[in-house]
Structures are given as structure tokens and as C-alpha cells.
Structure 1
Amino acid sequence: MNQGEILVIDLFAGPGGLGEGISSCKDDNGNFPFQIGVSVEKEASAHKTLTTRAFYRKLKDNPDSLADYHKYLEGKISRSDLFDVYPQAAEEAKLETLQAPRALGDDNELIHARIKQLCEKHKGPKVVIGGPPCQAYSLAGRSRNAGIKDYKAENDTRNFLYKEYLEVISIAQPEVFVMENVRGILSAKVAGELMFPKILADLREPGKVTDKPGVKGYRIYSLVEPATDPSDPIYKDSRAFLIKAENYGVPQARHRVILLGIREDIDRVPNVLKPADEIVTVEQAIGDLPPLRSGFSKRKDDAFEWEVEVESNSKLISRLLAAKFNIEKPADLFLMLKPQKALKRKTSTKSGISSSLPEELKRWYSNNAASAVLNHETRGHMDSDLLRYAFSAGYTELSGGTSPKARDFPEELAPNHDNWKSGSHADRFRTQAADKCATTVTSHISKDGHYFIHYDPSQCRSLTVREAARLQTFPDNYFFEGNRTQQYVQVGNAVPPYLAKQIAKIVLKCL
């Protein structure tokens, strides 16, 4: 690491969304000052994705090396063959991700030793980034926990993983840290007490919590609301730390708590994020990707049979929607709903990127892109769900972008579900409207596509991993390793890299 570069320590890294944004930030001279020294991740497929991306960063500035990386993305060579061609870059990438999946709390001796080694060697600024796993804080996670007999939050170690973050801060003593979590952390309680004020207090004095002498304190800033007193940033409302990603060029309503900590001896006050000029819509983000058909999950998959099934469904759905919206000619709706012909379930054929995207985001997606579309494959759906998907997508288009609730579905399309009419699953099927930003992409997308139905009824399917990755603002050359389910989980758990890049610019000014 060269003098003047900024050492980045990435904790709970997932597939690397936060690290991607930070490491992509340029200074005024066009250099990349943020250099990731270590990324810590325990899940095997996400760790493999991290390592592949770390390897890419070693090669991206060399056209010949980049061409070989593209051959891997396009399936022309294997990952092991690619690594064999560039053994030094491969070894550096593996060292960056600690050679194997590692978990803070379980592998602390190894992780802390590597961080100490990096910090002793590096004489420039340091930044710690990451978000402790959020299952215990998220509203969905708390709902699941409520159903567990004798569950006590104070006994759930996931509630206290942020203390592992404090341990690393105490070791590295970075000038700046960035910590991300779900909005549910603002209301999470342990033993009846709100956790967030406790977490803030601990982050302000990490050495006190970790019992390490000589560790300086931190001022904690919001990235969206200026502090009344910058020298002592105390905010009246904890929601000051909540960032709404759709306001900053991310085509998704993702609301996350992000804290910026600045060491008490650093005489800098951070800027706040600058809102984007416009909301980026789902169609702008994914409309240029090649159309695909869904498959069948409960019977043999066949393209012709899919077309027959969806066309038959279209006749029924057009009548149902005509009755719902008082449209006199159902035949006009049938043209909107009937399936596109000769679609595949998977394609790597690249099309041009949407011309309606903001220029900076267009460049962000397409930088160093391969000639193939990556991770763009559909899942299979039950016959009955194909009917509901077609109805939901058609309803959303006719209503001007409102996805139907359970009460809007005709009786003949109601699933055999005890809670269908109870109100607790009112939006069990949700179309991502073309002319709005997406709803939050979550790891639940790995289980089924019901909340992530494509707006085009003629494709009659849920979103692919690449479409979800676009909504999360991953560049098109970002390859997700693992099987499709694991890829969905990685995308759903990530921090939008395009938002992280904007945060990195604020951090850079502080340094």
C-alpha cells in the first residue's frame, strides 16, 4: 500500500457492496485512494464473490488482464484457470479475504492479528466499514423471534455483534468509520430498553466498552441532517441517521441507518449527502436487460408449453381485469398480456444500456462491462402463481403503478392460504411498477419471487439476480458466485454500492 492511500477494513462484508462503493471513489487527481486491506465474511458463497471482486480490482487497469477476466464472466475459462494465469493477483485477493470464510466472534484471533499487522505496516489514514448482521434488529427477524418459545433478546448473541465492530475499532483506531444497519435498529429493544441509544454511546467511547486503554472517542454524525453543534453532534431524533436511498440515485426505496464516526482528534465536520435531481425508476434501471420467460416449478419445463399456458391465462386475466377496471374490450388487454414468443429462461446476450438513466449512473453500471449479461436467469413458478403474476402485473399497469392487495384479487385467483384474507399478507404478491423506484430488495427474494414480480406481464415472472443487482446498483461486471438462491441472498443483504460511493466522497473530504 502506497503512502497517501487509505486503508479500508471491511467487516461483515457480505458480497462487498459497501466495499465496492468505497473502493470506487476517486480523488481529484483521478486516483483511487481507498484500498481494501481486509474483508471479513463468514458465508461461503458471499466470501467467494468477495474474493472474485478483490481479484478483479487487481486486474482492472490492465486491458489484457481485464479481457481475461471477461472470458471468465462469459464462461470461456474457469475461475481456477483465470487465477492460475495471474497467481500474484489471486494470492493477494485471497489474502484480502483471509483465505477462507471467517466469522467475527469465532475467528477473532486470526482476524485481529491480520488487522493489527495491516495497521502496523500502514502509516496513512484508516477507515473501518461494515454492518453487523441485522436479523435480530429487523422487523421481520423480530417477528420470527416472537414465535420462538422462551426467546429472550438479551440471550441472542446477534443483538451484540456490534461489539465485535467496537473491538476492531479499538484495535485499528481509524480516523473514520462507517456503520450500516436496518431501520429496525432504531426501535429494537433488549430487556425492555431501546438498543440504539446504547449502541451510539458505545460507539462514541469504544475503548470504554472493550476495556482497552488509550483508545480515542468518536463523534457520530448523520449523513443526511446537519448537526446543530458540529463539535458535539447530538440529534433530537434518532431518525436523523436514516438514509432513504431512493433520494440519492438508487432505484429502490431502501431505508437504512448509516452512522459516520469521526475520531475526536480529527478536526473535520462531514458534509451531508446531496439529493439526486430525480428518482430513478425500475424501468430505467432494468428495462434494457434482455426479456426472459419464467419456467415451471412443478412440471417439466418446455418453452412451447409455457407460451400455451401463459396465453391461456391471458384470456382469463384480460376478462378479470376488464371487469375490475370497467374496460369494454377485453381483447385490447389480451394484447398486453399475451406472452412474448421464443423467450429463453437464461441469456448472456447483451443489449444496450437504457438511454433514460442519469449519465453518472449509466457510466457506473457500464464501466468495464463484459459483452455478456451476468446472473440473468429466471426461476420456475407454479402454474397457479403464473396466473397471479399476470394479474398483478396487468393490474399494476392499468392502475398507474399500484400493485394489487389481496382484496383486489378475484376469488378464483386466491391462493389456498389461511392468512390471505386476514390482512397480515395483504401484499403477498407485489409487482415492481415500471415508473416508480422499487420497493426494498431483501434476502426474501431468495425464497420466492412473489414480492418482486416483473412489471411486464408478457414475461410473467419474478426478477432475476441481475435485475435485483441493478436495483441495488451493482455494476454490470459484478459477478455473484454460488447457486441462484445464494446469489439472491447476497444481493438482498448488500449495501447499494452507488450510495456507498457517495458516502466515500464525504469520508475522503474528512481525511
Structure 2
Amino acid sequence: MEIFDSHGRACDPGAPLTARAASMSKSSIPVVDIFAGAGGLGEGFEALGGGNRFHVALSAEMDRHAVQTLRTRAFFRSFPNGEAPRSYYQYLRGERSAPWTDDTRKMWDAAAHRACQLELGRIDHDRYLDERIAAIAEDAKRRQRPWVLVGGPPCQAFSLVGRARNRGIADYVPENDGRHFLYQHYLHILARHKPAAFVLENVKGMLSSQVGGAHIFKAIFDQLHLPGGANGPRYRIEPLVKPTGSGWQPKDFIVRGERLGLPQTRHRVILIGVRSDVPSITPLADDHEPVHLSQMLRGVPELRSSSTTEKIDSWPRFAARCLAQCSDYAKDVDTATAKHLKSLVPQVRDGLDLGTGGRWMEWFEAPRYPKHLHALMRDPKVDGMVQHETRPHMTRDLLRYAYAAAFAQVHDRSPRGAQEFPADLHPKHRSWASAKAFVDRFKVQRSEAPSSTITSHLAKDGHYFIHPDPTQMRSLTVREAGRLQTFPDNFLFEGPAGAQRRQVGNAVPPWLGHQVASVLSNVLS
């Protein structure tokens, strides 16, 4: 079976690089990103030093929409020092059907070659990936440059939610779930091609996941040291963050994103492997001041949801009615929230007739990001917001969002379970009032705190990602979630809305990739 690039054309493992790509490989360190998703890890690497320190030579991903995103981003990154052509920004705004012109078509074709749709575990796909990596490794050796392998295998088999779901499957056997063993693709690549360093990212549940009564983390950790056995390369596995004690423990590999300046409470396992002939990295101190949601969403145009169950002719009238109704519902549960909801009614009744956004929205106020994120996220050529569009919800959910957001403004937390929700707003879920129900089924993202972890659940509904303003009655947009994930203003997620949300939720935040790149850059000289 042939392998296809993001254009749908058959790939040639030995296809020549463009002049720009060749010049990048002379002066920068190539990165191979497998299980790449939307490319958050690679984005962080390429952002270091304006793209002059690392470049992503190959991204491998099985989701076709994510591959389209990787292709578009590879094209943007093909130009030095952020000098992407005008056509790219026109494409960003929806003014063109493609980001390239006749003059940049070769750059576009080369970008497509660097983003391949591959499903690791399929023999033909594995063979093709092996050939591509062999060519990259050989080119790096010839130029006397190191190269780096990065990626995050799918986490459903390791995550706490995924494991709970698997336990509900009558004939589920962990030993037969291939997702537990996708890390073995790393072992093959490490053993055969011997990169100077590697990065493996996964969920915290990896530390406690068991297969056949044995902890999977220990097996992964031990095998990554000697991926090819006694005759293969040797790696030291080192933590990104300074350990708290004298000896390393599994918990020392947990990175708490909010302590590194990420605007969300994202806790992940990050394993950094350096080959035995490479110096040890200097771990980072995780003592950064928290970055709040309000700092990331400054100047964002206000939006409102549309309803799937009724037509909204006037948002001021509709919103005033909903808030008054919520206030009445709340009286028997929380009088303070009921009073707050009532006080908002005149504000929305006399306010703007908000829209639902779109592919491109001009802003009235340019974003002012925290200092450490400004260079990563801000592009002065971008004078608006791409993909800032709300998703529709049924009116009952809009009422729940309004109540939950108002409750959070009063109590500085989301309402927990059935006992803190008005009976009239209880969803018709059989598990809603049970002891096993999720107490945070409706979670508000608070303005003056980091967001909760952005996850792929974003693609299913907005219940975990409710906007903090009760007058907007909506969940976060793709662009807002992308900002909390630290994707730059000029980053475009390809595909339909659901695919965009899934990509944002599954991504490694570029800021975390940038942090990893910074410690590796110091030792890969």
C-alpha cells in the first residue's frame, strides 16, 4: 500500500528538500515528531530562537485533519524569521482558498512532504516511516548535527477516564489493548536510528496504569534506557523539572504546567532521554507565578451561543429572559447566585446584540500576553482572531451555562453535582443524582485562575469549558481554547469545527514544547 502526503499524493521517502529546507538542516537541529496531533510539541521546538535552533523535518499523524493542520503550519514555518507571505495571512482570514501562490508552490509541496498521514503499527506505514527517519538521521550525521525524536502516544489506555470506560466493557483485556504498547515504536526508532535525545509525553495516569498486574511505567522506563538491548544505544531518562528529593521517583517526571507559566492546570508525564554521550540537562525550576484565563483572553470579542431548539431574533431579549428564569430557578438552591443573576438582567437587556463569531473576527483591542508568552504567541501581522466562533447548544444548556457561570462568580468555583443545581436545570441523565456522577459535569473556567486541563472532551460538548461570563452563555471557542493551549495567533487548525476542537484538546501546549526545547538546546551543541 502506498503512503500519501497531506495532498493525498503518493510519498517518496527520498524526495529532495527545497532550498529553504536544506538551509534549515545545515544550521538547525532536525526534529521528528510521531503521534504529532496538531504539532504542539514541534511548534514549541521551532519557536525557540525564531526557528533557527530546531526545525521539524517530519511529522507523522494518523488523523487526516490534523495532517492538514501540520501541512499548513509546515508551510508557514518554511519562511525564516516569521516572514510568511501575504498569501498565508489572506488564507488565515478566509480571503483565499490556499495559502500559497505560484511563486511559493514549491515551498507548499515540500511542506506537504514533511507532514504524512501514517498509522503506526501498520507494516507498510512503519516501513515508510523507518525509511524517512533513516534519511533524516543520515543527513544529520553527514552535516555533523544531532537530531531529536519527540511525540506523545495516544493516552486513552492510560488516562483515568479511559481506564474507567474500559472497565465498563465486559470483554476488555488490557493485555490485548494495543494502545498500551504504542511506545514500542519509540524503542524501535531509538534502537535503529539512535537520536541524540528524545521526548515522550503522556498523561499522569501512565504512572499507575497496570497490564497483567505490572506497572506499565516501570516497563517503559526500563526499556527506554536500553532500547536495543545490551548492544544498542544507552539513554539517561531525566526530568524536565528539578526533583524535590535526592533520588528520582516516578512522580518527579510529572510536569505541572501552571508552575511553568502555562495558563492551565495541566499535569503530564514528560520523559526526556539523552544519549549517554550527551551531557545531562539542567532541570527547570517550577516556581512561575500562575497565569490567569483573563490574561490570555484580553480583548477577545464577546460572543453568544445560538440555540438548537429555538430561533433567537434578539439576543438582549433572549438573554434577559434566560437570566431572569435562572434567577427564579436558583432561589431555592442558592439565594446569592439568584440575586446575582437578577442583577445581570438590565445589563443584557440594554446591551449589545451579540453575534456568534466566525472564521475571522477583527478585534478592538490587540492581545497583551504575559511577558514570557508574548514572543511565542503574538504576531503583529495578525489584526484579528481566527476561528473565534461559538458552537450551538439547546436552550436548556444555555440556562445551565448561565447559572453555572453566575455561581462561579459568586463562589469562585463551579457548582458541584445535583445538590448545587436548581432542580429545574437538572439534565435527564440517569447518573445525574447518583453517587457515581461526575460532580463537575458543568465546569466553569474562572477568569482569575488558570483554566482546567484542555482535553479532547472539548469536541464532544462545552460542559467542561463554560465561559466565565454568564451573560454570554456559551462554551469556549476554538481560538480561546487554542490561546489557553498557547498556540500562536497565526496558527490555523484545519478541518470542520469538531476536528478543530479535537486537535486543540489532544495537543501538547507549544509552551511546554518550548520549555523542553530550551533545556535540550543547551546540551545539543
Query: So what's the TM-score if we normalise by structure 2?
Result: 0.89
Structure 1 residue 47 displacement after superposition: 0.5
Structure 1 residue 66 displacement after superposition: 2.8
Contact 2:414 2:440 in 1 (8 A): no
Q: Which runs of 5+ in 1 are unaligned?
A: none
Decide which of 473, 481, 486 is 1:473's aligned counterpart: 486
* 2:267 alignment partner in structure 1: 255
- Partner secondary structure for residue 198 of structure 2: strand
Contact 2:320 2:346 in 1 (8 A): no
> Is 1:464 aligned with 2:464?
no
Counterparts in 2 of 1:486-501, with a 5 A limit? 486-501=499-514
For residues 32-80 of structure 1, give each alpha carbon's deviation from its aligned partner in whole angstroms, at most 9, with x where no partner exists: 11111111001000010000000000135474x432210110111112x
> Is 1:104 aligned with 2:120?
yes
Task: Identify which range, 107-116 or 359-368, moves more after superposition.
Answer: 359-368
Structure 1 residue 282 displacement after superposition: 1.1
Amino acid at match of 1:166: L
* 1:12 alignment partner in structure 2: 35
Tell me, in whole angstroms, the C-alpha distance in 2 between the residues paired with 1:76 and 1:286: 25
Contact 1:314 1:334 in 2 (8 A): yes
Tell me, in whole angstroms, the C-alpha distance in 2 between the residues paired with 1:328 and 1:257: 43
Amino acid at match of 1:43: D
> Is 1:51 aligned with 2:71?
yes
Contact 2:69 2:493 in 1 (8 A): yes
Structure 1 residue 352 displacement after superposition: 2.6
* 1:378 alignment partner in structure 2: 390
* 1:221 alignment partner in structure 2: 238
Task: Identify which range, 448-457 or 144-153, moves more after superposition.
Answer: 144-153
Tell me, in whole angstroms, the C-alpha distance in 2 between the residues paired with 1:67 and 1:328: 51
* 1:128 alignment partner in structure 2: 149
Structure 1 residue 405 displacement after superposition: 3.5
Between the aligned residues of both structures, percent identity stands at 38
Against the structure 1 CA distance between its residues 31 and 439, is the aligned structure 2 distance closer, same or farther, given a 3 Å change threshold?
closer
Tell me, in whole angstroms, the C-alpha distance in 2 between the residues paired with 1:113 and 1:310: 58
> Is 1:293 aligned with 2:323?
no
* 1:200 alignment partner in structure 2: 221
Amino acid at match of 1:25: L
* 1:311 alignment partner in structure 2: 320
Query: So what's the TM-score if we normalise by structure 1?
Result: 0.91
* 2:94 alignment partner in structure 1: 75
Decide which of 135, 143, 167 is 2:164's aligned counterpart: 143
Decide which of 167, 175, 180 is 2:188's aligned counterpart: 167
- Partner secondary structure for residue 364 of structure 1: helix
Against the structure 1 CA distance between its residues 333 and 290, is the aligned structure 2 distance closer, same or farther, given a 3 Å change threshold?
closer
Counterparts in 2 of 1:108-507, with a 5 A limit? 108-123=126-141, 124-208=145-229, 214-226=231-243, 235=248, 237-266=249-278, 268-275=279-286, 277-299=288-310, 301-304=311-314, 306-321=315-330, 324-326=334-336, 331-335=342-346, 340-347=351-358, 348-355=361-368, 357-423=369-435, 424-507=437-520
Aligned pairs, how many?
A: 491
Tell me, in whole angstroms, the C-alpha distance in 1 between the residues paired with 2:347 and 2:232: 63
Tell me, in whole angstroms, the C-alpha distance in 2 between the residues paired with 1:214 and 1:489: 41
Contact 1:336 1:457 in 2 (8 A): no
- Partner secondary structure for residue 260 of structure 1: strand
Tell me, in whole angstroms, the C-alpha distance in 1 between the residues paired with 2:418 and 2:510: 34
Structure 1 residue 303 displacement after superposition: 4.3
Against the structure 1 CA distance between its residues 254 and 83, is the aligned structure 2 distance closer, same or farther, given a 3 Å change threshold?
farther
Tell me, in whole angstroms, the C-alpha distance in 2 between the residues paired with 1:255 and 1:440: 8
Q: Which runs of 5+ in 2 are unaligned?
A: 1-21
Structure 1 residue 140 displacement after superposition: 1.3
- Partner secondary structure for residue 148 of structure 2: strand
Indicate the RMSD between aligned Cα atoms, in angstroms: 2.1
Contact 1:318 1:337 in 2 (8 A): no
Amino acid at match of 1:156: D
- Partner secondary structure for residue 77 of structure 1: coil
Against the structure 1 CA distance between its residues 128 and 330, is the aligned structure 2 distance closer, same or farther, given a 3 Å change threshold?
closer
Tell me, in whole angstroms, the C-alpha distance in 2 between the residues paired with 1:464 and 1:90: 28
Against the structure 1 CA distance between its residues 170 and 341, is the aligned structure 2 distance closer, same or farther, given a 3 Å change threshold?
same
For residues 215-256 of structure 1, give each alpha carbon's deviation from its aligned partner in whole angstroms, at most 9, with x where no partner exists: 211110111134978xxxx62x31110001011111111100
For residues 447-481 of structure 1, give each alpha carbon's deviation from its aligned partner in whole angstroms, at most 9, with x where no partner exists: 10011000011111000000110110100110000
Contact 1:389 1:453 in 2 (8 A): yes
Contact 1:369 1:476 in 2 (8 A): no
For residues 316-359 of structure 1, give each alpha carbon's deviation from its aligned partner in whole angstroms, at most 9, with x where no partner exists: 2234556614477874343466684221111411243444x422
Against the structure 1 CA distance between its residues 246 and 314, is the aligned structure 2 distance closer, same or farther, given a 3 Å change threshold?
same
Structure 1 residue 259 displacement after superposition: 0.5
Against the structure 1 CA distance between its residues 500 and 338, is the aligned structure 2 distance closer, same or farther, given a 3 Å change threshold?
farther
